Amino acid sequence: MDGATKYSTIDEYISVFPKEVQIILQKIRTTIHKEAPTATEAISYGIPTFKLQGNLIHFGGFKDHVSLFPGSEAVEVFAKDLQKYTVSKGTIQFPLDKPIPYELVKRITKFRVEKSTSNK
């Protein structure tokens, strides 16, 4: 969880977290992969990233939350669904002490896939 640490794979990144957070991060990864099966996995900006004609979506673990980084347009489009979460321009924070909304992660990923493939 050291921001200065460089990871070469998503597995390596996830492995440094406590077991309960690893489970959440793996489930987010699986959820994204199901909606974007042709996307490739990478580490970008030091965090797990899915790429599909450019950066599709990033996610990461933190002390008290996990974050999804779908970009500012997705945060705007899903603003109503995100009212109970901390958000910034292109980031959504899901607190670790509350259930993770995997269905929402799925819908946001699907939106990003549609945008990514329609813009090219």
Give the pLDDT of residue 5.
Answer: 61
Q: Convert the pLDDT of each residue in 19-65 to its tens digit.
A: 999 999 999 999 999 999 999 999 999 999 999 999 999 999 999 99
pLDDT in tens, 76-119: 999 999 999 999 999 999 999 999 999 999 999 999 999 998 86
Q: In the chain, what are the domains?
A: 10-114 (3.90.1150.200)
pLDDT value at position 1? 45
What does the pLDDT average to over 3-15? 84
In this prediction the pTM is 0.92
Given this model, what pLDDT does residue 2 score? 44
Nearest of 85, 64, 65 to residue 74 by alpha carbon: 85
Tokens of 69: 């980084």
